[in-house]
Amino acid sequence: MTMSPQSTNRLATAASVALEPETTAPAPKRRRGVGRLSTHVMDNRTAYVMIAPMVVLLGIFVWWPLLYSFYLSTFEISFYEEPLFVGLQFYGYVLEDPDFWHSIGIGATYVLYTVPAIMIIAFLVASFIRTVGRKVAGLLKTTVYVPTVVSAVITSVVFVFMYRADGGLINWLIGFVGLGPFAFLSDPELALPAISVPGIWLAFGITTLIMLAGMYDIPQSYYEAAQLEGANFFQRTWFITIPLMKNVLLYLVVTATIAGMQQFELPLVMTQGGPTNSTMTPNLFIFNQFKDPTPYATSFSLTAALILFFVLGGISMLIFRLIRSDKAIDA
């Protein structure tokens, strides 16, 4: 699923860790009374106790595996013989592998096809839902959420049938205007756009709901004031809605971009990365590398996964830099 809650949570955590390193700077130099000092220590103690379980869990399930992965990536791993220390050799292998970079390019192209479309469709649908009455809005919200709960694998299978050149629904429809039939999933030019469509379909619902939540947070008085001044819908959207939803939009762009780069199920089920590697997304590439029963395959896929981690981190940083994240104005 393009927007799974797990990935969004993880990313939100990663993003806040990466980008807000010094949010609370205690003022140690300020002189305090003895009584206040002990309260301060007591406060801190409570705070440490409260965060301890999370730190322990993160340590066990995030930091230790990550560090251990880096350690393992310096070996040619065998589950049967002594692992062979090779230093950073596999990093070199991955970085100079044109297929790895090709897969990053495919991931980036998939993001270009899906993220703008998801954002625009979700924004328009959310804007529309906001204008309708309570009952209709409830119905629409439920409806747009449906794709989110459909499994990506099932979606893939359904779309494979829809795309079929012999009797597929889509070729039947475009047949009415005299086009086709196209073998969408067997044409290297069409395959990636074709798998982007279910990608958009799967992700736009949850994106719409998150945008809608952001829109409901904007005080109605702003719009009333703007209307009194004679602002039309586009001006209200451009000068009120978008600026006030900046953080929400930023979050959605980052998570959708990362989820898009990590797209795996759609190409796995629909095209197996083909035709001629034109839908070989980074995760699918790594997965395929992993399959050979050789120590080389294990180490290569591990190292490629670690490098992908940095590529994705880099992309997130870039987006955060490009769109400065500020606190909400009305906070």
Partner 1 sequence: MHKRITRLATVGIAAAAVGVMLAGCTPASSGTTEDGKSKVVFWQQKFEDYQQDWFKAQVAEFNESQDEVEVELLVVPADTWDQKLKAAQAAGKAPDVKTTSYGNIKPMQASGQIADLSELMDADAFDDIAENIAPFVTVDDGVYGYPLLVEPSTVLFYRTDLLAAAGIDAPPTTWDELLDDARTLTTGDVYGMNIGQTAPDLGWSSWGLQYNVAGDFPLRGDWSEASADDPAYEDLAKFYQTLYTEKLMPQEATYPYADCSFFGEGKVAMSACGSWALGQLSANPDWAGVWENTAVAAFPSSDGDPTSPTSTLGGWTLTVDAKSKVQDESAEFVQWLLADDTDRLVDFFTATGFSKYPARVSVTEALAATPEAADDPFLATITEDIVPYAKAEPSYPWDVSLAFATSLEKAMRGGDIPAAMSEAQAAIEDVIKKQKLAGTGSD
The residue (of 97 and 237) whose beta carbon lies closer to partner 1 is 97
Q: Does 65 bind partner 1 (CB under 8 A)?
A: no
Return the ∠ at Cα 1 (arms to 246 and 183), rounded to 5°.
110
The residue to which tokens 């209307």 are assigned: 227
As to burial, measured by CB atoms within 10 angstroms (0-12 exposed, 13-18 middle, 19+ buried), residue 179 is exposed
Among 109, 127, 186, 325, binds partner 1 (CB under 8 A): 186
Q: Does 277 bind partner 1 (CB under 8 A)?
A: yes
Q: Does 93 bind partner 1 (CB under 8 A)?
A: yes
* Only segment of 27-35, 116-124, 127-135, 267-275 that touches partner 1 (CB under 8 A): 267-275
Q: Does 79 bind partner 1 (CB under 8 A)?
A: yes
Q: What is the largest CA-CA distance in the chain?
A: 86
* Only segment of 47-55, 194-202, 229-237, 322-330 that touches partner 1 (CB under 8 A): 47-55
The span from the CA of 152 to the CA of 270, in Å, is: 11
The residue (of 217 and 292) whose beta carbon lies closer to partner 1 is 292
Among 11, 118, 144, 185, binds partner 1 (CB under 8 A): 185
Shortest distance, position 310 Cβ to partner 1, whole Å: 21
Q: Does 157 bind partner 1 (CB under 8 A)?
A: no
* 108: amino acid identity, one letter: A
The span from the CA of 300 to the CA of 126, in Å, is: 44
Rounded to the nearest 5°, which phi and psi values hold at 83?
A: -60, 145
Q: CB of 215 within 8 A of CB of 245?
A: yes
Return the ∠ at Cα 260 (arms to 268 and 137), rounded to 5°.
110
Q: Does 180 bind partner 1 (CB under 8 A)?
A: no
The residue (of 19 and 52) whose beta carbon lies closer to partner 1 is 52
The residue to which tokens 């947070």 are assigned: 217
Shortest distance, position 51 Cβ to partner 1, whole Å: 10
Q: CB of 246 within 8 A of CB of 233?
A: no
- Residue 3: other Cβ atoms inside 10 A: 21
Q: Does 74 bind partner 1 (CB under 8 A)?
A: no
Q: Does 313 bind partner 1 (CB under 8 A)?
A: no
Please report, as ranges, the residues that interact with partner 1 according to CB under 8 A.
45, 48, 52-53, 55-57, 59-60, 78-81, 93, 97, 164-166, 183, 185-186, 188, 272, 274-277, 287, 290-298
